[in-house]
């Protein structure tokens, strides 16, 4: 019975987000279009989870205690209304489109022989990986360190009280003489703990293992979103699945599912989907896709405080999309000006988003090199990123790739600033902070590598007939 309640409760944000996205589909876009259903399933969960937490925040502000009915009933009603609107708009084509999308996902057209076998084996491998991670989430109680002292502290208090109450820093806690709640991250946003609160509400009890199932859902949603977005961007079915597999199999990402409770995997998923939504918007120029970019960017700021910095890395991409001819130059100039400003501020001990800037041009290169190129955190990801960028060459500045290129550049600059110009450089040597910050960026880097390699492959395929022609 507990499992049924938990399943129903955890499916609610998924259904909410999918209903919102389906009801907002662009005119004449079918769920059976390549990648559309997978994208809606992936991005839909993230949208629904964020809307769920926004609704819980609204209930708390209104003084309504958390309960299954208070939280779930309005969201379920909204889901049914959005679904009814989509059905009225699309008629009986909607169920057929869903079935066609599922069939295309299980048996994608254009794959025969060895490629179809590779597809099925890779899909089975992914399914097995997520099954094993699901067992791990169910059996593993809340793991120590930040999960205990910065996130689940809020979830436990808010679940027991049935509302959100503020947490204070050490000084304010001592001054309140027991009249305030304290943990290690009192100023962090409430989104992640509220997902844990909702899981416990539908269970009817505090369970520090089962409340972490949203991390499994986030990982699965990220894999769906990567596959769906790349298919919609005309990547082959096998290429999109291989990329989704690389993202889903990043060792450190899997650790953050199995030992759930940290906010870094949600940060990576929301940021990656925001980037993918921006690429879709660049291709369609549809206002609905632009609205999704904005929503996911706002969600990034509500996962962790550094989410604001990650959301700002989308701005150069937006500039490049809006100004195809001058955008890339303007974005590069803007990044240069930002680096100069940070170098100036680093001499003043300025604090930004909890990180203290200080001038240090001797970052811990050895630990960083070990983390990125020698240890097992990233499955050779960074070798692939550099190789794909080298092979793509001038294609990186093409109209298709330029938005992604400038976003990845901005993300790399952000990581460099964090590990070289802030107090976080002192934490690089123990392979924790730098690796967790890199996790926010790693799925985007994997998608960039796939798109860059595809650009190279297309250029190579187009050049071969000329090279092989007589007299060439």
Helix (H) or strand (E) segment spanning residue 170: helix 170-176
Task: Give the per-residue pLDDT at 424.
Answer: 57
Residues 25 and 86: beta-carbon distance below 8 Å? yes
Asked if pLDDT for residue 356 goes beyond 70, the answer is no
Per-residue CA distances from 341 to 6, 315, 334, 405, 417 (Å):
49, 17, 10, 22, 12
Residue 27's pLDDT band, with cuts at 50, 70 and 90, is: low
Residue 102's pLDDT band, with cuts at 50, 70 and 90, is: confident
Asked if pLDDT for residue 199 goes beyond 50, the answer is yes
What Rg do the C-alpha atoms of the chain give, in angstroms? 23
Q: Which of 290, 471, 285, 250 lies closest to 380 in space, CA to CA?
A: 250
Asked if pLDDT for residue 154 goes beyond 80, the answer is yes
Give the mean pLDDT of 33-60: 95
DSSP string of 412-467, one letter each residue: HHHHHHHHHSBGGGGGTTTTSHHHHHHHHHHHHHHHHHHHHHHHHHHHHHHHHHHH
Q: Which of 375, 349, 350, 351 lies closest to 428 in space, CA to CA?
A: 375
| 5-14, 76-85, 201-210, 429-438: segment of lowest average pLDDT | 429-438
- Between the two ends of the chain, the Cα-to-Cα distance in Å is 72
Relative orientation angle of helices 402-420 and 327-345, to the nearest 10 degrees: 10
Q: Is the dihedral of CA 156, 160, 164, 169 positive or negative?
A: negative
Name the residue ranges covered by the structural domains of the chain. Answer: 2-279, 305-464
Cα separation of 443 and 223, whole Å?
A: 10
How many CB atoms within 10 Å of residue 213? 22
Give the mean pLDDT of 194-205: 96
pLDDT in tens, 321-350: 988 777 677 777 777 776 676 666 656 666
Asked if pLDDT for residue 103 goes beyond 90, the answer is no
Measure CA 462 to chain center: 34
Cα separation of 170 and 174, whole Å?
A: 6
Percentage of the chain beyond pLDDT 70 is: 87
Give pTM, 2 decimals: 0.91
Q: Which of 246, 219, 268 lies closest to 380 in space, CA to CA?
A: 246
Mean pLDDT, the chain, integer: 86
Q: Which of 28, 40, 35, 68 lies closest to 52 in space, CA to CA?
A: 68
Q: Is 25 left (phi over 0), alpha (psi -120 to 50) or beta?
A: beta
How many CB atoms within 10 Å of residue 76? 15
Beta strands, E only, 319-414 = 351-352, 355-356
């Amino acid at each position: 019975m507990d499992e049924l309640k938990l399943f129903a409760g955890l499916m609610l944000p998924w259904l909410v987000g999918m209903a919102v996205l389906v009801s907002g589909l662009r005119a004449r876009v079918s769920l059976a279009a390549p990648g559309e259903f997978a994208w809606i399933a992936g991005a839909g969960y993230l949208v629904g989870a964020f809307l769920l937490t926004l609704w819980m925040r609204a209930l708390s502000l209104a003084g309504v205690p958390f309960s299954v009915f208070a939280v779930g009933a309005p969201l379920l009603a909204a889901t049914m209304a959005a679904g009814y609107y989509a059905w009225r708009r699309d008629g009986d084509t909607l169920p057929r489109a869903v079935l066609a999308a599922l069939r295309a996902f299980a048996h994608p057209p254009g794959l025969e022989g060895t490629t179809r076998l590779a597809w099925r084996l890779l899909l089975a491998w992914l399914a097995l990986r997520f099954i094993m991670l699901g067992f791990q989430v169910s059996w593993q109680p809340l793991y120590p360190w930040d999960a205990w002292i910065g996130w689940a502290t809020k979830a436990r208090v808010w679940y027991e009280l049935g509302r959100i109450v503020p947490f204070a820093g050490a000084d304010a806690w001592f001054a309140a003489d027991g009249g305030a709640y304290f943990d290690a991250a009192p100023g962090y946003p409430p989104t992640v703990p509220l997902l844990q609160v909702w899981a416990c509400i539908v269970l009817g009890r505090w369970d520090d293992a089962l409340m972490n199932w949203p991390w499994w859902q986030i990982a699965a949603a990220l894999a769906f979103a990567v596959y769906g977005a790349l298919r919609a961007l005309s990547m082959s079915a096998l290429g999109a699945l291989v990329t989704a597999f690389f993202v889903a199999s990043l060792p450190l990402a899997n650790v953050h599912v199995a030992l759930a409770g940290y906010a870094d995997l949600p940060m990576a998923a929301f940021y990656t989907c925001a980037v993918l939504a921006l690429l879709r918007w660049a291709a369609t120029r549809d206002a609905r896709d632009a609205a999704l970019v904005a929503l996911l960017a706002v969600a990034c700021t509500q996962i962790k405080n550094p989410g604001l910095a990650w959301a700002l890395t989308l701005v150069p991409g937006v500039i490049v999309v809006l100004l195809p001819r001058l955008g890339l130059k303007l974005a590069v100039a803007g990044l240069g000006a930002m680096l100069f400003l940070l170098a100036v501020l680093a001499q003043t001990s300025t604090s930004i988003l909890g990180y203290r800037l200080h001038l240090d041009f001797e970052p811990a290169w050895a630990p960083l090199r070990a983390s990125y190129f020698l240890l097992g955190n990233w499955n050779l990801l960074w070798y692939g990123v550099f190789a794909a960028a080298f092979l793509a060459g001038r294609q990186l500045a093409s109209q298709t790739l330029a938005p992604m290129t400038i976003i990845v550049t901005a993300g790399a600059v952000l990581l460099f600033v964090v590990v070289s110009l802030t107090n976080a450089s002192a934490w690089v040597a123990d392979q924790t902070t730098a690796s967790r910050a890199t996790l926010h960026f790693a799925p985007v880097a994997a998608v960039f590598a796939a798109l860059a390699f595809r650009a190279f492959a297309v250029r190579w395929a187009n050049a071969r007939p000329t090279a092989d022609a007589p007299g060439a």
